Amino acid sequence: MPLIVPAYAALFGLMFAAISFRVANTRRMRRVSLGTGGDRQLERYIRVQGNFAEYVPMALILLTFLELQEWPAWLIHALCAVLLIGRVLHALGIGREPDNLRFRASGMIATLSVLIVTSILLLAGGIWRGSL
């Protein structure tokens, strides 16, 4: 049974809740119920939330499968930590005007690296076990 990834998933859940609260609070303060109302800061917050929702679930699924294939715990911790750092950097990078392009790019590189590495490892694990 996976134990490592669920702990990180809980951290990501809290992070997503904080990001979502920021969107909801900004909507309330600026009285925008749908869309951005032309508010550039709200648009940035919505994109931080959307980008998080687009990438984190797939990464957690792949990481869970790695844990189920019994890859080393240190590797799973490392990949989860890279994903967490990447998501924080990305949120900091696009959450403010102007962008911090270094944080934004570093966050996406970290996130995409986790997706690519976990995908390759899962395929390799299937091949090594003779199931592919």
pLDDT of residue 132: 55
pLDDT exceeds 90 at position 46: yes
The letter for the amino acid at 87 is R
Q: How confident is the model over 49-77, as pLDDT tens digits?
A: 999 999 999 999 999 999 999 999 999 99
> What pTM did the predictor assign?
0.91
> Class of 4-126 per CATH?
mainly alpha
Quote the tokens at residue 59: 């990464």
Residue 131 pLDDT class (50, 70, 90 cuts): low
Which H helix or E strand runs over 91?
Answer: helix 73-94
- Cβ-based burial of 43 (10 A; exposed 0-12, middle 13-18, buried ≥19): middle
Q: How confident is the model over 75-95, as pLDDT tens digits?
A: 999 999 999 999 999 999 998
pLDDT of residue 37: 87
